């Protein structure tokens, strides 16, 4: 079996992606297919002995879409996907701006007389009807040209028997525009032949504003989609940029910098303090304290020595070492994380809007009704003009103005309300998925906890806390070790004066020693105390308890006398326990995943009380856990803040990033909590329920008008009551449906979390 990625062009809604999946999935030799509307791509697993990539491309093109192998673009710059997405967003933005520029005056002129708005004299009165009509025509033509792609895709899909929302847009807008042009000719004919009744009749039958308004509103929705595509591309590109561009290599006894692409397995690389590890490898000389937060989420750097493995993308906080490269290019852990994010975002099925899901039925039904109604009235002996008015009325009243507004208006108002509450919701898919969440997975570091170590306990032996802290800070100020920072910060918070320290010497694997006011002092772990013959047995029980609580005890001694112990740990956020309790009250299962050790994880578990804790995980393990839960039928939300959480965030039904986290986590997620407060997780779920309820209401009203209006527009009431819904009234009804949808969406401005 072979797995290929194809680039797809011309998809406009979920009806398109669903049709491609359905048709290609039925081809002999195709085992699995996933079409991603947002990224305009398709992943296909197929038997190349039965079907070729060229045959798959030909089948997609036969459906009316463009297709090409993704491999054909791999030699291009990796930044191009971002540039392409950004260009698409900017192009859509320009189309939207220009559409609005022409649509607003068109709408004002067309509706001004009916609404008694002030208008120039040249547009008023029957004698100026032709001027009015030609002005509207000239304002509509640019909007039609700007939205030409809707007509191109819509009619092409209609021709290929795969109608979608573009088809309805194209038919409805075309019908309104063509009838408007017809009305202008009738007005001109009326003036030429002195038939003022004809002029009066058709001066009210100009529907150019309907044609332009449809295109402008749909362009608004397309702009939002383009912006989402741009953000998706940024997430993967930022991951790519994590890897260093150069490496310091030692070859033939000479040192020199080379591009990262030229590093090969077996190369000897040098990593200095503050440098990023270029590729995966093993230390052969020296040591260092590595910040592995990008890979494991561990907040406290890990000491690495000879024969220990190191991972590309991690940072050497202190120390100096040589390493032998064991994995380069696509085989590195960081590259695998990038691949996981890309695969997860590509394989995640886009959640289609309700209007799109039923468009495959709605569009042909509307067309059929319009044609059938017109034909019926002709058969009943009415003239072609009367039948044409009936057909146009059906198409105009069923135009997707309200359908186009139903989702984006609720999303815009809802997301605006969310932003005011510290919740950034990035897509309609996230909204739709969040209200069904039954399992929330939490990363530990930076999510449940603060994400940076602080001093938690100070235990002294025959000196005061201030004396111990000042000596400890004086020693640690000479050190580059990451655990020095919380001790120095604690001393600064107490405004302590630090004694003079000198003679710093690093003791690998144990700690350090220095002279403080001429006296030899030690700072480090229990191994250092044992090596210096310092008795710490009196504190054995308390240090064991500190370790049990997930804290790191640091010993400080002067000569052979133990001065005391300072414990450092990543503390739990004040709101974490309350947030978890609220989630469990909602019936949501809460699981904590962490790359940290089991002792620390269990200590956090006891403090906040989630349902389950899984520790010592790598990024792929987190992503695998999310996938396992999804396979069991759970709707999973992943909450995290680190690069290591990106694959799991992308794989989850809803990825929720803590705002204080990395850009990669934020870009990979669907929802961002800007205040870094876990209490915003239940708040976000509640908001999603409110917005989704509003969207469903909007769609109901949009279709309700069609259900009532289409039969009337088709003339069902005319034989008995002589009630005929003219295209003008049909357009007004359509406009009213749009107003009701917008008004309903505006109610979300008053949403509050209860």
Reported as a single tens digit per residue, the pLDDT across 317-328 is: 889 999 999 999
Reported as a single tens digit per residue, the pLDDT across 433-467 is: 888 899 999 988 778 888 788 899 999 998 999 99
| CA–CA separation, 371 and 389 (whole Å) | 11
Under 8 Å between Cβ of 45 and 32: yes
| CA–CA separation, 474 and 522 (whole Å) | 11
The DSSP code for 525 is -
| CA–CA separation, 237 and 345 (whole Å) | 13
| CB neighbour list of residue 712: distance below 8 Å, 6 or more residues apart | 723, 725
166, 205, 443, 680: which is the annotated catalytic residue?
Answer: 443
pLDDT at 359: 53
Nearest to 647 by CA among 672, 629, 630, 624: 624
| SS3 call for 4 | strand
| CB neighbour list of residue 207: distance below 8 Å, 6 or more residues apart | 176, 177, 179, 180, 183, 392, 396, 727, 728, 731
The DSSP code for 547 is H
- DSSP character string of 376-399: HHHHTT--HHHHHHHHHHHHHHT-
Instruction: Give residue 490's pLDDT band: very low, low, confident or very high (50, 70, 90).
Output: very high
Reported as a single tens digit per residue, the pLDDT across 283-295 is: 999 999 998 766 6
> Residue 106, by phi and psi: left (phi above 0), alpha (psi -120 to 50) or beta?
alpha
98 vs 164, which has greater pLDDT? 98
pLDDT at 239: 59
Q: Which residues pair with 590 in a beta bridge?
A: 440
| SS3 call for 209 | helix
| CA–CA separation, 731 and 213 (whole Å) | 11
Reported as a single tens digit per residue, the pLDDT across 76-118 is: 334 344 445 677 778 888 999 999 999 899 988 887 777 778 8
Nearest to 170 by CA among 425, 321, 363, 387: 363
169 vs 520, which has greater pLDDT? 520
Residue with the two structure tokens 């209200």: 435
What is the token pair recorded at 22?
């359905």
| CA–CA separation, 592 and 570 (whole Å) | 15
Reported as a single tens digit per residue, the pLDDT across 167-196 is: 767 877 887 788 889 889 989 999 988 888
| CA–CA separation, 341 and 745 (whole Å) | 34
Cβ-based neighbour number of residue 57 at 10 Å: 18
Q: How many C-alpha atoms does 66 have within 13 Å on its Cβ side?
A: 9
Mean pLDDT of 468-474: 93
Reported as a single tens digit per residue, the pLDDT across 344-383 is: 444 333 333 455 455 556 767 888 888 899 899 999 988 7
Under 8 Å between Cβ of 296 and 444: no
The DSSP code for 436 is T
pLDDT at 419: 66
What value does the mean pLDDT of the chain take?
81
Helix spans in 586-717 (H): 598-608, 619-631, 646-651, 663-668, 680-713
Q: Is the pLDDT of residue 144 over 80?
A: yes
| CA–CA separation, 661 and 447 (whole Å) | 9
Q: Is the pLDDT of residue 254 over 70?
A: yes
Single pTM value for the model: 0.56
First to last CA, the chain: 52
Q: 443 an active-site residue?
A: yes
Burial code (b: 16+ CB inside 10 Å, e: under 16) for 106-120 equals bbbbbebeeeeeeee
| CA–CA separation, 452 and 485 (whole Å) | 10
Rounded (5°) CA angle 84-88-89:
120
pLDDT at 714: 87
Adjacency order of strands within the sheet including 30-36: 30-36, 41-46, 2-9, 66-69
Under 8 Å between Cβ of 425 and 431: yes
- Number of residues that this document lists for the chain: 754
| SS3 call for 483 | coil
Under 8 Å between Cβ of 54 and 10: no
Under 8 Å between Cβ of 475 and 514: yes
Torsion of CA 449, 294, 430, 154, to 10 degrees: 170
3-state SS record for 303-318 = EECCCCEECCCCEEEE
**Sign of the torsion angle spanned by Cα atoms 605, 606, 610, 612:** positive
Mean pLDDT of 516-534: 90
């Amino acid at each position: 079996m072979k797995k290929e990625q194809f680039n797809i062009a011309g998809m406009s809604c979920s009806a398109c992606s669903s049709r491609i999946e359905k048709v290609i999935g039925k081809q002999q030799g195709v085992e699995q297919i996933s079409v991603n509307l947002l990224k305009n791509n398709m992943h296909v697993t197929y038997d190349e002995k039965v079907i070729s990539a060229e045959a798959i491309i030909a089948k997609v093109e036969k459906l009316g879409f463009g297709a090409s192998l993704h491999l054909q673009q791999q030699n291009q710059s990796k930044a191009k996907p971002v540039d392409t997405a950004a260009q698409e967003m900017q192009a859509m933005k320009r189309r939207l701006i220009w559409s609005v520029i022409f649509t607003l005056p068109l709408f004002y002129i067309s509706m001004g007389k009916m609404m008694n708005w002030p208008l120039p004299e040249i547009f008023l009165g029957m004698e100026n009807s032709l001027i009015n009509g030609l002005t509207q025509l000239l304002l509509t033509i640019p909007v039609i040209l700007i939205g030409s792609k809707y007509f191109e895709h819509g009619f092409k899909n209609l021709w290929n028997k795969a109608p979608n929302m573009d088809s309805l847009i194209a038919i409805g807008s075309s019908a309104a525009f063509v009838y408007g042009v017809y009305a202008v000719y009738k007005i001109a004919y009326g003036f030429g032949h002195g038939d003022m009744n004809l002029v009066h009749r058709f001066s009210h039958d100009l529907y150019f504003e309907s044609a332009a308004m449809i295109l402008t509103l749909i362009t608004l929705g397309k702009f939002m989609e383009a912006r989402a595509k741009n953000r998706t591309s940024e997430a993967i590109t930022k991951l790519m940029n994590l890897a260093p561009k150069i490496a310091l290599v030692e070859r033939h006894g000479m040192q020199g910098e080379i591009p990262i692409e030229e590093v090969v397995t077996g190369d000897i690389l040098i990593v200095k303090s503050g440098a990023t590890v270029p590729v995966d490898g093993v230390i052969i000389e020296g040591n260092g304290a590595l910040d592995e937060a990008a890979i494991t989420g561990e907040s406290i750097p890990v000491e690495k020595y000879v024969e220990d493995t190191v991972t590309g993308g991690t940072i050497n906080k202190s120390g100096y070492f040589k390493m032998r490269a064991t994995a380069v290019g696509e085989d590195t852990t960081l590259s695998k994380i990038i691949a996981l994010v890309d695969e997860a975002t590509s394989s995640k099925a886009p959640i289609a809007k309700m209007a799109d899901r039923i468009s495959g039925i709605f569009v042909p039904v509307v067309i059929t009704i319009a044609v059938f109604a017109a034909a019926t009235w002709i058969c009943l002996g009415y003239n072609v003009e009367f039948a044409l008015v009936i057909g146009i009325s059906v198409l105009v009243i069923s135009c997707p103005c309200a359908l186009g507004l139903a989702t984006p208006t609720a999303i815009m108002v809802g997301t605006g309300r969310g932003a005011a509450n510290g919740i950034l919701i990035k897509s309609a898919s996230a909204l739709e998925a969040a209200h069904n969440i039954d399992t929330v997975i939490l990363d530990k570091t930076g999510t449940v906890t603060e994400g940076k170590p602080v001093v938690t306990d100070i235990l002294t032996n025959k000196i005061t806390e201030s004396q111990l802290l000042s000596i400890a800070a004086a020693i640690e100020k000479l050190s580059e070790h990451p655990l020095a920072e919380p001790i120095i910060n604690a001393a600064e918070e107490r405004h302590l004066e630090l004694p003079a320290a000198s003679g710093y010497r690093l003791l690998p694997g144990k700690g350090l020693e220095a002279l403080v006011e001429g006296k030899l002092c030690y700072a480090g772990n229990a191994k250092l105390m044992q090596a210096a013959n310092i008795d710490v047995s009196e504190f054995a029980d308390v240090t064991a308890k500190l370790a049990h609580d997930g804290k790191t005890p640091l010993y400080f001694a002067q000569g052979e006398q133990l001065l005391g112990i300072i414990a450092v740990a990543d503390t739990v956020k004040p709101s974490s326990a309350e947030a978890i309790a609220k989630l469990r009250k909602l019936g949501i299962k809460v699981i904590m995943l962490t790359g940290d050790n089991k002792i620390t994880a269990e200590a956090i578990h006891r403090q906040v009380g989630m349902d389950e804790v899984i520790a010592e995980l790598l990024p792929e393990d987190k992503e695998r856990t999310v996938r396992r839960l999804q396979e069991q039928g759970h709707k999973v939300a992943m909450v995290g803040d680190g690069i290591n959480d990106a694959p799991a965030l992308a794989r989850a039904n809803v990825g929720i990033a803590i705002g204080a986290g990395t850009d990669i986590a934020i870009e990979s997620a669907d929802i961002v909590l800007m205040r870094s407060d876990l209490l915003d997780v239940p708040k976000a779920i509640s908001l999603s329920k409110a917005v989704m309820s509003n969207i469903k209401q909007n769609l109901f009203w949009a279709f309700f008008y069609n259900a009532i209006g289409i039969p009337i527009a088709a003339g069902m009431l005319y034989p008995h009551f002589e009630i005929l819904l003219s295209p003008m009234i049909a357009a007004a009804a359509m406009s009213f449906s749009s107003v009701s949808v917008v008004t309903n969406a505006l109610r979300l401005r008053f949403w509050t979390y209860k």
